[in-house]
């Protein structure tokens, strides 16, 4: 399987690297009759993934804390059941759900796209946070209780710091997963060929550019699609490498993750 991954990376490098230029980073997308860049899709992806992270990280960590630290068997079983479903559900269904809830009422927008991405990230963060907290020895909790600390302080100031390696790894892996999602954005943020900072309006992103330009008859647009695919791949690979390095660093320092 390694050679398959290597062949994909080599193909992306051959086709996408020539398109990485200063012009590409400083100009927005243009019509087929003009040459454009990828500035607005890059910033659109950063904005939407950033918003999704701001929504999913606190919700996911809170769900992980609830599952690991509070013993409500029936409720915990229900939460785990829906988390497992969301992890395995096709992302296009999440896009349709957000379309029915948000897009129908407020229209296509970056915030709708961020919400769809957040829904995909929350169960990943929740389950990894639960597993990381479950590894923390109960003796550490008992030490906090013995000092008179309430349970919420023990969780926030003792358990979470002890489990931060696993929690951070789950966050990075969740972000790397949603960074390349296309299907939810087709039904939510729609895309925008113009410059836009308004999160309540349609906004472009790299996955949408890849989807729109990949089957174009214009060679310049196909070249941009390859370049966008390479940028997304580099971003995802970097996040995965950071997660692995951080995990190993925590293990070497003897942290509980």
For 85-140, how does the pLDDT look when each residue is reduced to its tens digit (9 = 90+)? 888 889 999 999 999 999 999 999 999 999 999 999 999 999 999 999 998 888 88
Per-residue model confidence as pLDDT tens digits over 159-191: 998 888 889 989 998 999 999 999 999 999 988
Indicate the range of 59-63, 99-103, 149-153 predicted with least confidence.
149-153
65/44 Cα distance (integer angstroms): 32
- Nearest one of 55, 62, 57 to 171, comparing CA atoms: 57
pLDDT at 254 over 60: no
pLDDT of res. 98: 96
- Give 247-255's long-range contacts (Cβ < 8 A, gap of 24+): 247/165, 247/166, 247/169, 249/165, 250/164, 250/165, 251/165, 255/162, 255/164, 255/165
pLDDT at 209 over 90: yes
From the number of C-beta atoms within 10 Å of its C-beta (0-12, 13-18, 19+), residue 10 rates as: exposed
Q: Assess contact for 119 and 51: CB atoms under 8 A.
A: no
| Spans of all domains in the chain | 41-252
- Identify the helix (H) or strand (E) that includes residue 15: helix 2-16
- Give me Rg for the CA atoms of the chain: 21
Task: Report residue 205 as tokens.
Answer: 């992103």
Fold classified for 41-252? MetI-like fold (1.10.3720)
Alpha helices, DSSP H, located in 99-213:
104-106, 110-135, 138-146, 151-154, 160-162, 164-179, 183-187, 206-213
């Amino acid at each position: 399987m390694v050679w398959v991954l290597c062949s994909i990376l080599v193909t992306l490098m051959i086709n996408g690297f020539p398109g990485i230029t200063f012009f590409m980073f400083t100009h927005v997308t243009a019509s087929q009759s003009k040459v454009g860049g990828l500035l607005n899709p890059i910033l659109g992806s950063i904005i939407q993934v950033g918003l999704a992270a701001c929504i999913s990280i606190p919700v996911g960590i809170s769900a992980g804390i609830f599952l690991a630290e509070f013993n409500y068997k029936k409720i915990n079983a229900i939460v785990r059941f829906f988390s497992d479903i969301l992890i395995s559900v096709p992302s296009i269904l999440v896009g349709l759900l957000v379309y029915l809830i948000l897009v129908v009422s407020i229209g296509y927008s970056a915030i709708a796209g961020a919400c769809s991405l957040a829904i995909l990230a929350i169960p990943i963060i929740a389950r990894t946070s639960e597993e990381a907290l479950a590894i923390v020895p109960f003796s550490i909790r008992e030490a906090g209780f013995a000092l008179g600390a309430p349970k919420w302080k023990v969780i926030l100031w003792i358990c979470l710091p002890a489990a931060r390696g696993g929690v951070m790894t789950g966050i990075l892996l969740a972000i790397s997963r949603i960074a390349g999602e296309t299907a939810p954005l087709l039904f939510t943020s729609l895309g925008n060929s113009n410059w836009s900072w308004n999160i309540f309006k349609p906004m472009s992103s790299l996955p949408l550019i890849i989807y729109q330009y990949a089957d174009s008859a214009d060679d310049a647009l196909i070249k941009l699609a390859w370049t966008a695919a390479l940028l997304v791949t580099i971003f995802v690979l970097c996040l995965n490498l950071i997660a692995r390095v951080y995990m190993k660093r925590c293990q070497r320092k003897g942290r509980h993750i």
